[in-house]
């Protein structure tokens, strides 16, 4: 395996919050096109791991390399620029801006990179078409269903064609039908080559979408296994 | 109650920034309110305060010593609350040559000390006369440095036909009981022509009729012709009302603006603090707090910083207001009355916390009625998008996205935006008005100081000094040749009989640079003289004589009737008694002592040095520094700047509070924006843009309002002082100043937004996004 095909590399990563050790000596690699699920009981360090990889938090020790760049040495501005161009994030509670329409929420990600409003909206409309929510383009988030909101959030995450898509409990706030739709969506994305890292409690989601499972316990990797997709 | 206290204490601890903002806003608002109220109080009744401070005389009465004895006067006390006297009184005629300030008869009274039950004279410099040959002059208090340089400060003796009196001090009486005081022995030696009694009456003294009735009570039983003259205090009060009138409306307007901004900002900050705590209110209700306890928690939470801010603000305000009040009273000519009255302190100590409580109570009462579940969901459940159309338009614009997002923020919370806008608007109006006022006062000052010529020069006339050997033209040439002289004007004052008028009129025949020294700039009607049969009159003289521009004045000039035409009206005449201006004529019969000179120096010239040079060049010339005469104008300008700065600070604190609340409300949005790649700088740009846009809007509305206020208030204040202002004084605005004002509106907003915006940029995304 070449360094170029490795999208994420963590080497001896440790994270402490005061006296609490959230991650302890975590070393892992995620290769391009992989779909990896991270599972474990509450407080095991799943979200902390995701935050480290997304550059939302800094490790106490160890190295984090994503898409060939060391995140642990970057300042806030470089981290923001890195996220803008190379990462997409999906959250449990969608995190859409209430004051913007669905289309403008998605276009925003491209506009922050300097794209014109027209270009950003055209790209957003493409994604709306691919995700089947074109008719909801002008709705504001409060008028969308949970599933629709998460689709809008996925569209926003894909806007800048990220090297890595990070999903934090993407079905956690959805009913089963909407959850299924989102799972299908993630699976489709991975099948066309999108690298995925999913943090979840939902075994069905992990088994449906991921090809590898990392189980955390007390901040350490307790087990790694390949998954047969359902 | 302990649960309420515990919850309140925790709320204060948890919301440190908001608590600090409330504390700071209340502190600055308290200082502003105290300053405003104290000045409003001072501006409403400056004479009354000074009068009460000195236990002024309701009547200054002169009796004929030949008709009534001192014992009789002391015994006649019907209706008298307190009396001082009898004091010997004499009118002395100062010898010519002791300077232009001793040119009129002076009332001199013999008093052993400045105190007593009535008319406690303010001895503000030197000491009281102790032996014969000493005198204290009645002069309103002035800053020592300025006074020493002026002509009165340098007058060391008063020469009378009965001998010279050495000036040993300066004192001030608001009752106007004397022009100077000597020891009782000295006044006896001067052969007093009157006996002075000073009375404070019981009962009504508010009108002349009432005072006459009180006075009649005293004089009943005394010989009928014993009363020579009585001066009721109302005369001094009326005289005093005309002098400081020009500044009082300015002070009053500022005081009102200060109070208004205080109310709006406190309402904004405190109301916002309670509204942003709705979720916490829901949690408290879910825990079992009764609605009344919830309201108590919130009132306690805002009361802690409010009380601390009020107490500290009152202390700081008292420190700040002392020199301002002191200068104000000094400027108004009433001596030093720097104490803040108790009602002002009590009003602030009670009023500001009450204001805070009312501002907190209104939204807290809404929280009182809010169901717990609804309160808890506040801020977490998706809101229906507000101002979607605005956001859509902005997102399609060519502006950088951080800027367009920032521009949309004010539309999301219209009520909060309106309150912030109100405080910004007031800030901009105040800064605009203050700048205009300050510039206008500076121009009035400039005209005054330019036209009084900075340096005054007059040949000595008495025996005490050598007589100059130079002619008027030689003196003028000498003054022009001295280093630093920029302009020199020469005048000669003649008192001329005027046909159809009972009193003579003073006409100042001038030459040299007099028009360029500011007198021509002061014209607000007509023009400067272009021929020797024309006159320009100050407004006061014009009104006194019932003249108008175009009228003719026929005066007896050296035995010949000469007709002049009034061609111009100006604010001020030359220093001294009001006189008309006429072009120069030669008066060969007059000696050099009849002429006076005014010198304007080049910028940066050492005035004391120039004065010394004049005296060294010709010991027969008296020279003095005329500047600093209108220290009150400078004080008003300085005070305007101080209050504008305070109000701008308060407005900026209002913005700080709004942005802090916005950041708190939008933590999730900010975290999301950062997660999709918004840089810290873009976050700061967005938050600052949101307020800068308001600042710009406030400037667009506030500057015209401020200009209007300036246009309205200044002429009103001039009317109060019975003067008119030339257009020159009003035209203080230029494009650069207006740009500066627009910048001030934006600057207030940006400065206020900077701190919370930077805080937003440092927000920990992980924590915000995962802790829903």
ipTM of the complex: 0.82
Q: Is the dihedral of CA B675, B676, B682, B686 positive or negative?
A: negative
> What's the pLDDT at B437?
79
B772 touches chain A (CB under 8 A): yes
> What's the pLDDT at B499?
76
φ, ψ (nearest 5 deg) of residue B714: -60, -50
> Is residue B60 domain-resident?
no
Q: Is the pLDDT of residue B453 over 70?
A: no
DSSP codes, B747-767: HHHHHHHHHHHHHHHT--HHH
The tokens describing B320, both together, are: 């700040």
Q: Is the pLDDT of residue B300 over 60?
A: yes
Q: Is the pLDDT of residue B242 over 60?
A: no
Minimum-distance CB partner of A142 among B382, B674, B772: B382
Q: Mean per-residue pLDDT for B700-720?
A: 83
- B10: three-class secondary structure by DSSP: helix
Side-chain-facing half-sphere of B506: CA atoms under 13 Å: 16
Question: Which residues, including other chains, have CB under 8 Å from residue A18's CB and lie 6 or more apart?
Answer: none
Domain identity same for B336 and B461: no
What is the rounded CA–CA span in Å between residue A68 and residue A18? 30
A100 touches chain B (CB under 8 A): yes
Q: Where are the alpha helices (DSSP H) in B452-578?
A: 472-481, 539-544
What is the rounded CA–CA span in Å between residue B170 and residue B164? 17
Question: In angstroms, what separates the C-alpha of B407 from chain A's closest C-alpha?
Answer: 12
Reported in sequence order, the residue ranges of B606-659 that DSSP labels E, i.e. its strands, are 621-625
What is the rounded CA–CA span in Å between residue B772 and residue B769? 7
Tell me which of B9 and A68 has the higher pLDDT. Answer: A68
The tokens describing A230, both together, are: 């359902």
Q: Which of A74-78, B154-158, B330-334 has the lowest mean pLDDT?
A: B330-334
| Nearest residue on chain B to A166, alpha-carbon basis | B675
Domain identity same for B421 and B485: no
Q: Mean per-residue pLDDT for A200-219?
A: 91
Q: How confident is the model at residue B211 (pLDDT cuts 50, 70, 90)?
A: confident
Cβ–Cβ of B395/A77 closer than 8 Å?
no
B396 touches chain A (CB under 8 A): yes
Q: Is the pLDDT of residue B490 over 80?
A: yes
**B411 and B387 Cβ atoms separated by less than 8 Å:** yes
Cβ–Cβ of B671/A95 closer than 8 Å?
yes
B758 touches chain A (CB under 8 A): no
Cβ–Cβ of A77/B681 closer than 8 Å?
yes
Q: Which of B463-467, B514-518, B587-591 has the lowest mean pLDDT?
A: B463-467
Q: How confident is the model at residue B5 (pLDDT cuts 50, 70, 90)?
A: confident
> What's the pLDDT at B582?
93
> What's the pLDDT at A36?
94
Q: Is the pLDDT of residue B100 over 50?
A: no
- Identify the burial level of B33 via C-beta atoms within 10 angstroms of its C-beta, where 0-12 means exposed, 13-18 middle and 19 or more buried: buried
Minimum-distance CB partner of A83 among B401, B675, B764: B675
Average pLDDT, chain B: 79
Q: Is the pLDDT of residue A125 over 50?
A: yes
Question: Which residues, including other chains, have CB under 8 Å from residue B484's CB and lie 6 or more apart?
Answer: B601, B602, B605, B606, B609, B610, B613
Domain of residue B215 covers: 65-225
> What's the pLDDT at B238?
66
A85 touches chain B (CB under 8 A): yes
Q: Is the pLDDT of residue A26 over 90?
A: yes
- Identify the burial level of B373 via C-beta atoms within 10 angstroms of its C-beta, where 0-12 means exposed, 13-18 middle and 19 or more buried: exposed
Q: Is the pLDDT of residue A122 over 90?
A: yes
Question: In angstroms, what separates the C-alpha of B767 from chain A's closest C-alpha?
Answer: 9
Would you kindly state where each structural domain of chain A is located, as residue ranges? 3-95+162-226
φ, ψ (nearest 5 deg) of residue B108: -115, 130
What is the rounded CA–CA span in Å between residue B121 and residue B129? 13
Q: How confident is the model at residue A1 (pLDDT cuts 50, 70, 90)?
A: very low
> What's the pLDDT at B327?
63
**B89 and B195 Cβ atoms separated by less than 8 Å:** yes
Average pLDDT, chain A: 89
Cβ–Cβ of A93/B772 closer than 8 Å?
yes
Q: Is the pLDDT of residue B731 over 90?
A: no
Domain identity same for B84 and B214: yes
Inter-helix orientation angle B16-44/B291-332, to 10°: 40
Q: Is the pLDDT of residue B18 over 60?
A: yes
> Is residue B237 domain-resident?
no
Q: How confident is the model at residue A15 (pLDDT cuts 50, 70, 90)?
A: very high
Cβ–Cβ of B398/A76 closer than 8 Å?
no
What is the rounded CA–CA span in Å between residue B138 and residue B180? 5
B-chain residues within 8 Å CB-CB of A113?
677
B-chain residues within 8 Å CB-CB of A91?
672, 769-770
Question: In angstroms, what separates the C-alpha of B41 from chain A's closest C-alpha?
Answer: 49
Domain identity same for B763 and B641: yes
Locus of tokens 């074109």: A134
> What's the pLDDT at B41?
75
Q: Mean per-residue pLDDT for B485-499?
A: 86
Minimum-distance CB partner of B766 among A57, A80, A101: A57
Q: Mean per-residue pLDDT for B109-138?
A: 88
Domain identity same for B606 and B636: no
> What's the pLDDT at B722?
56
Domain identity same for B169 and B138: yes
Q: Mean per-residue pLDDT for B555-567?
A: 86
Domain identity same for B406 and B356: no
Q: Measured at the alpha carbon of residue B113, what is the angle toward residues B110 and B114, in degrees to the nearest 5?
A: 100
Q: Is the dihedral of CA A208, A210, A213, A217 positive or negative?
A: negative
Q: Is the pLDDT of residue B247 over 60?
A: no
Q: Which of A133-142, A179-188, B368-377, B406-415 has the lowest mean pLDDT?
A: B368-377
> Is residue B58 domain-resident?
no
The tokens describing B374, both together, are: 């609804």
> What's the pLDDT at B772?
43
First to last CA, chain A: 27
What is the rounded CA–CA span in Å between residue B361 and residue B274? 9
- Picking from B770, B771, B772 by the largest number of A CB atoms within 10 A of its own CB, the best residue to mutate is B770
For B392-446, the pLDDT digits (tens) are: 788 888 888 889 989 988 888 787 788 788 878 877 887 888 788 778 877 776 6
Tell me which of A29 and B53 has the higher pLDDT. Answer: A29
| Nearest residue on chain A to B771, alpha-carbon basis | A93
Inter-helix orientation angle B342-369/B291-332, to 10°: 150
Question: In angstroms, what separates the C-alpha of B415 from chain A's closest C-alpha?
Answer: 16
Highest-confidence segment of A11-15, B82-86, B269-273:
A11-15
What is the number of other CB atoms lying within 10 angstroms of the CB of residue A76? 16
Total domain count, chain B: 4
Minimum-distance CB partner of B679 among A77, A142, A168: A77
Closest to A209 measured CA to CA, from A176, A172, A180: A180
Domain identity same for B85 and B217: yes
> Is residue B233 domain-resident?
no
B-chain residues within 8 Å CB-CB of A56?
675, 764-766, 769
* In chain B, % of residues over pLDDT 70: 81
Domain endpoint, select from B325, B349, B381: B381
Tell me which of B58 and B295 has the higher pLDDT. Answer: B58
Side-chain-facing half-sphere of B58: CA atoms under 13 Å: 23
CA A193 and chain centroid, separation? 15
- Identify the burial level of B161 via C-beta atoms within 10 angstroms of its C-beta, where 0-12 means exposed, 13-18 middle and 19 or more buried: exposed
Q: Is the pLDDT of residue A61 over 90?
A: yes
Helices (H) and strands (E) in chain A, counts: 7, 10
Tell me which of A89 and B19 has the higher pLDDT. Answer: A89
Question: In angstroms, what separates the C-alpha of A165 from chain B's closest C-alpha?
Answer: 12
Minimum-distance CB partner of A99 among B385, B668, B678: B385
Segment (H or E) for A17: strand A6-17
Write the CA distances from B527 to A153, B227, B530, B550, integer angstroms: 77, 50, 8, 11
Locus of tokens 């120039």: B610
Q: Is the pLDDT of residue B567 over 60?
A: yes
* In chain A, % of residues over pLDDT 90: 48
Q: Mean per-residue pLDDT for B236-251?
A: 58
Q: Is the pLDDT of residue B502 over 70?
A: no
Q: Is the pLDDT of residue B721 over 60?
A: no
What is the rounded CA–CA span in Å between residue B240 and residue B714? 20
**Based on C-alpha coordinates, what's the Rg of chain B?**
33
Closest to B69 measured CA to CA, from B214, B198, B188, B195: B195
Domain identity same for B333 and B466: no
> What's the pLDDT at B498?
79
> What's the pLDDT at B67?
85
> What's the pLDDT at A4?
46
Q: Mean per-residue pLDDT for A23-44?
A: 93
| Nearest residue on chain A to B387, alpha-carbon basis | A99
What is the rounded CA–CA span in Å between residue B512 and residue B598? 10
Closest to B69 measured CA to CA, from B201, B226, B188: B226
Q: Is the pLDDT of residue B388 over 80?
A: no
What is the rounded CA–CA span in Å between residue A133 and residue A112? 23
**A223 and A202 Cβ atoms separated by less than 8 Å:** no
Domain identity same for B366 and B448: no
What is the rounded CA–CA span in Å between residue B510 and residue B451? 13
Write the CA distances from B616 to B473, B480, B611, integer angstroms: 18, 15, 9
What is the rounded CA–CA span in Å between residue B292 and residue B368? 7
- Picking from A17, A55, A56, A78 by the largest number of B CB atoms within 10 A of its own CB, the best residue to mutate is A56
> What's the pLDDT at A156?
92
> What's the pLDDT at B373?
63
φ, ψ (nearest 5 deg) of residue B59: -145, 135
- B399: three-class secondary structure by DSSP: coil
Domain boundaries A3-95+162-226, corresponding CATH code = 3.40.50.300
What is the number of other CB atoms lying within 10 angstroms of the CB of residue B681? 13
φ, ψ (nearest 5 deg) of residue B227: -80, 120
DSSP state of A2: -
Closest to B643 measured CA to CA, from B209, B212, B20, B29: B29
A211 touches chain B (CB under 8 A): no
């Amino acid at each position: 395996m070449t360094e170029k095909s490795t999208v994420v590399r963590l080497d001896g990563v440790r994270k402490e919050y005061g006296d609490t050790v959230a991650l302890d000596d975590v070393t892992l690699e995620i290769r391009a096109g992989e779909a990896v699920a991270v599972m474990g009981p509450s407080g095991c360090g799943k979200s902390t791991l995701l935050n480290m990889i997304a550059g939302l938090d800094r490790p106490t020790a160890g190295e984090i390399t994503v898409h060939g760049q060391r995140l642990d040495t970057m300042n806030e501005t470089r981290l923001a620029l890195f996220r803008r161009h190379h990462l997409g994030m999906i959250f449990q509670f969608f995190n859409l801006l209430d004051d913007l329409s669905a289309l403008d929420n998605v276009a925003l990600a491209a506009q922050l990179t300097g794209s014109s409003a027209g270009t950003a909206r055209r790209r957003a409309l493409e994604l709306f078409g691919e995700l089947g929510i074109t008719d909801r383009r002008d709705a504001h988030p409060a008028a969308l269903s949970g599933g629709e909101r998460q689709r809008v959030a996925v569209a926003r995450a894909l806007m800048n064609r990220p090297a890595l898509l990070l999903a934090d409990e993407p079905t956690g706030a959805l009913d089963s039908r909407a959850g299924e739709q989102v799972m299908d969506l993630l699976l489709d994305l991975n099948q066309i080559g999108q690298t995925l890292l999913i943090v979840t409690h939902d075994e069905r989601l992990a088994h449906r979408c991921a090809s590898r499972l990392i189980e955390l316990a007390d901040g350490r990797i307790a087990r790694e296994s390949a998954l047969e997709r359902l | 109650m302990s649960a309420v206290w515990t919850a309140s204490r925790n709320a204060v601890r948890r919301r440190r920034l908001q608590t600090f903002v409330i504390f700071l806003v209340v502190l600055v608002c308290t200082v502003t309110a105290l300053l405003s109220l104290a000045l409003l109080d001072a501006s409403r009744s400056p004479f009354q305060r000074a009068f009460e401070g000195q236990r002024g005389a309701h009547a200054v009465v002169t009796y004929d010593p030949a008709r009534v004895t001192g014992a009789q006067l002391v015994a006649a006390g019907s209706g008298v609350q307190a009396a001082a006297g009898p004091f010997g009184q004499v009118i002395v005629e100062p010898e010519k040559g002791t300077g232009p300030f001793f040119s009129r008869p002076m009332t001199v009274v013999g008093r052993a000390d400045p105190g007593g039950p009535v008319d406690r004279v303010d001895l503000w410099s030197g000491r009281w006369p102790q032996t014969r040959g000493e005198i204290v002059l009645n002069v309103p208090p002035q800053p020592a440095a300025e006074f020493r340089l002026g002509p009165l400060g340098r007058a060391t003796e008063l020469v009378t036909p009965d001998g010279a009196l050495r000036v040993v001090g300066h004192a001030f009486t608001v009752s106007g009981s004397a022009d100077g005081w000597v020891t009782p022995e000295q006044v006896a030696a001067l052969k007093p022509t009157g006996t002075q009694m000073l009375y404070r009456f019981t009962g009504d003294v508010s009108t002349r009729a009432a005072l006459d009735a009180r006075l009649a009570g005293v004089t009943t039983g005394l010989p009928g012709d014993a009363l020579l003259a009585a001066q009721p205090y109302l005369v001094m009060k009326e005289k005093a009302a005309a002098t400081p009138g020009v500044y009082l409306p300015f002070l009053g307007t500022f005081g009102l603006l200060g109070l208004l901004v205080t109310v709006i900002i406190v309402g904004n900050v405190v109301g916002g603090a309670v509204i942003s705590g709705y979720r916490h209110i829901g949690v408290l209700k879910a825990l079992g707090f009764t609605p009344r306890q919830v309201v108590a928690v919130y009132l306690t939470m805002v009361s802690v910083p409010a009380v601390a801010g009020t107490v500290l603000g009152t202390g700081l305000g008292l420190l700040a207001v002392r020199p301002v009040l002191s200068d104000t009273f000094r400027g108004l000519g009433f001596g030093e009355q720097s104490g803040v009255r108790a009602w002002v302190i009590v009003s602030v100590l009670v009023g500001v916390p009450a204001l805070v409580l009312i501002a907190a109570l209104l939204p807290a009462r809404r929280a009182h009625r809010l169901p717990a579940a609804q309160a808890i969901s506040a801020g977490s459940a998706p809101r229906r998008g507000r101002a979607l159309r605005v956001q859509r338009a902005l997102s399609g614009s060519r502006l950088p996205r951080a800027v367009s997002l920032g521009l949309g923020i004010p539309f999301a919370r219209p009520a909060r935006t309106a309150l912030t806008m109100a405080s910004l608007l007031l800030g901009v109006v105040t800064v605009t008005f203050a700048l205009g006022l300050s510039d206008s006062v500076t121009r009035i000052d400039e005209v005054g100081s330019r036209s009084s010529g900075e340096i005054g020069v007059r040949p000595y006339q008495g025996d005490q000094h050598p007589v100059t050997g130079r002619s008027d033209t030689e003196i003028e040439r000498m003054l022009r040749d001295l280093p630093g002289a920029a302009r020199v004007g020469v005048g000669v004052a003649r008192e001329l009989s005027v046909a159809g008028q009972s009193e003579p009129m003073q006409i100042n025949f001038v030459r040299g640079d007099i028009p360029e020294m500011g007198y021509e700039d002061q014209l607000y009607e007509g023009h400067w003289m272009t021929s020797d049969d024309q006159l320009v009159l100050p407004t006061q003289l014009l009104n006194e004589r019932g003249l108008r521009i175009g009228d003719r004045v026929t005066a007896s000039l050296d035995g010949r009737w000469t007709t002049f035409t009034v061609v111009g009206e100006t604010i001020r005449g030359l220093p001294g008694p009001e006189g008309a201006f006429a072009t120069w004529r030669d008066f060969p019969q007059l000696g050099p002592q009849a002429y006076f000179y005014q010198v304007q120096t080049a910028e940066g010239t050492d005035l004391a040095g120039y004065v010394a040079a004049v005296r060294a060049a010709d010991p027969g010339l008296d020279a003095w520094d005329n500047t600093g005469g209108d220290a009150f104008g400078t004080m008003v300008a300085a005070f305007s700047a101080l209050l504008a700065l305070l109000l701008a600070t308060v407005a900026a604190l209002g913005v700080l509070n709004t942005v802090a609340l916005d950041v708190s409300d939008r933590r999730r949005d900010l975290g999301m924006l950062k997660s999709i790649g918004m840089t810290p700088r873009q976050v700061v740009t967005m938050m600052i843009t949101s307020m800068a846009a308001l600042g710009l809007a406030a400037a667009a509305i506030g500057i015209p309002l401020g200009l209007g206020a300036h246009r309205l208030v200044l002429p009103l204040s001039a009317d109060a002082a019975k003067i008119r202002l030339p257009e020159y004084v009003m035209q203080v605005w230029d494009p650069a100043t207006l740009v500066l004002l627009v910048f001030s509106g934006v600057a207030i907003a940006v400065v206020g937004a900077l701190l919370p915006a930077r805080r937003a940029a440092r927000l920990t995304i992980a924590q915000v996004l995962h802790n829903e």
